[in-house]
């Protein structure tokens, strides 16, 4: 199984993602410059966090016009796996690969802290090694992480079991107080209808070593690796 | 020829920046301010040979595709000769 990490001008979690795939997943991984368009050799692609194009216009808005994005759309349509983390999630929403939008945090702050998220479904290639209802401690670092979508989209997400992670208390209780940014219904991560594209605001790649405060992020990568091993 | 594009958050979309500005304005003693919504404004220089109708069509498309996110924002376009 081969992984790729897309690098836009302004990406800054690309090395973290690369590190996790090579060290913890133990699989080959390449950086893919945003001007490259050949994704044929990859089974899964990560769109890392950062500030692509300086967040100019809107977070993720300009990255979606990079040449690699046309290939990424086809890549996703072919059923291969895409994981968008933080800015990667924003880019996937702007590109229309995931529904909804990420707007300014309700308190206007750039929030950089560890939060708790609850695993809402294990019926995804990214969470199938986790337990439903389990709580992960993951860092967030964003100013635009407030997930919104219209009622129709939200009903669809719920009905199709596409809300993957929600902000919660350490106990797993979903409360407004545990919602760092104002996201609708505490949504922290969603997937597409085909379930092969996941976007999430927290950074699992920064939570794979106890030294960094949490290793709860490993489960996401372990799940993806298990999925790829099964389909290979 | 010049195009002016105004991009605003749709009604109901939270605008914490607008709220913060409104709060400051009220602290300064401005009365009767019921709401402030912050938007974006673009000035786009255009080749006059394009013609007004074509310019409007082209800039509107640009506004829909790039300048705004139709999920959260509305836009309006004015063309000045």
Reduced 3-state DSSP string for B27-80: HCCCCCCCCCCCCEEEEEECCHHHCHHHHHHHHHHHHHHHHCCCCCEEEEEEEE
CA gap A100, A47 in Å, rounded: 18
Q: How many Å lie between the alpha carbon of B31 and the closest alpha carbon of chain A?
A: 24
Interface membership of B20 toward A (CB under 8 Å): yes
pLDDT confidence of residue B17: 93
pLDDT under 50: residue ranges of chain B = none
Chain B environment of A93 (Cβ under 8 Å): 71
Q: With contacts defined as CB-CB under 8 Å, which chain A residues touch B14? A: 103-104, 106, 146, 148, 182
Residue B38: per-residue pLDDT? 96
What pLDDT was estimated at residue A207?
Answer: 97
Q: Which residues of A are catalytic?
A: 86, 203, 205
B80's CB contacts (< 8 A; 6+ apart) are B1, B2, B3, B4
Q: Which of A105, A107, A148 sits opposite B72 (nearest CB)?
A: A148
Structure tokens at A178: 């545990």
Helix (H, G, I), strand (E, B) or coil at B25: helix
pLDDT at residue A128 in the model: 97
Nearest C-alpha of chain B: how many angstroms from A106? 6
Whether the pLDDT of residue A184 is over 90: the answer is yes
For residue B69, which residues of chain A lie inside 8 Å, CB to CB? 58, 61, 94, 101
What would the pLDDT profile of A78-135 be if each residue is shown by its tens digit?
Answer: 999 999 999 999 999 999 999 999 999 999 999 999 999 999 999 999 999 999 999 9
How high is the pLDDT of residue B81? 83
pLDDT at B59: 98
The SS3 call for residue B5 is strand
A110 touches chain B (CB under 8 A): no
A149 neighbourhood in chain B, CB within 8 Å: 71
CB contact under 8 A, A101 and B16: no
Q: How confident is the model at residue A53 (pLDDT cuts 50, 70, 90)?
A: very high
Helices (H), A46-159: 67-77, 87-94, 151-159
pTM value is 0.94
What proportion of chain B, given as a percentage, has pLDDT over 70?
100
B17 touches chain A (CB under 8 A): yes
3-state secondary structure of A31: strand
Residue A229, helix vs strand vs coil: helix
Q: CA A32, CA A12: separation in Å to the nearest integer?
A: 14
Q: Give the phi and the psi of residue A22 in degrees, each rounded to 5.
A: -75, -40
Q: Residue with structure tokens 């949504």?
A: A187
Q: Is the pLDDT of residue A231 over 90?
A: no
């Amino acid at each position: 199984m081969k992984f790729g990490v897309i690098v836009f001008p302004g990406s800054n979690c690309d090395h973290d993602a690369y590190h996790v795939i090579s060290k913890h997943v133990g699989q080959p991984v390449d950086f893919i410059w945003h001007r490259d368009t050949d994704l044929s050799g990859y089974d899964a692609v990560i769109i890392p966090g950062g500030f692509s194009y300086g967040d100019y216009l809107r977070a993720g808005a300009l990255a979606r016009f990079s040449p690699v994005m046309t290939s990424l759309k086809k890549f996703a349509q072919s059923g291969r796996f895409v994981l968008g983390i933080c800015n990667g999630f924003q880019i996937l929403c702007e590109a229309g690969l995931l529904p909804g939008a990420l707007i300014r945090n309700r308190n206007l702050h750039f929030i950089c802290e560890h939060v708790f998220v609850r695993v809402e479904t294990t019926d995804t290639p990214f969470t199938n090694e986790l337990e439903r209802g389990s709580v992960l401690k993951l860092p967030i670092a964003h100013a635009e992480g407030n997930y919104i979508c219209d009622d129709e989209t939200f009903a669809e997400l719920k009905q199709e079991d596409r809300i993957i992670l929600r902000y919660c208390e350490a106990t797993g209780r979903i409360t407004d107080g545990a919602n760092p940014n104002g996201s609708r219904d505490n949504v922290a991560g969603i997937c597409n209808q085909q379930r092969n594209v996941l976007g999430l605001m927290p950074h699992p790649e920064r939570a794979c070593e106890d030294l960094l405060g949490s290793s709860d992020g490993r489960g996401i990568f372990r799940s993806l690796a298990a999925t790829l091993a099964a389909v290979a | 020829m010049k195009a002016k594009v105004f991009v605003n958050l749709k009604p109901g979309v939270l605008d914490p920046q607008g709220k913060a500005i409104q709060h400051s304005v009220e602290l300064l003693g401005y009365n009767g301010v019921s709401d402030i919504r912050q938007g974006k404004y673009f000035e786009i220089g255009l080749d006059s040979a394009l013609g007004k109708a074509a310019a409007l069509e082209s800039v509107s498309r640009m506004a829909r595709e790039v300048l705004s996110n139709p999920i959260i924002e509305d836009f309006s376009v004015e063309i000045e000769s």
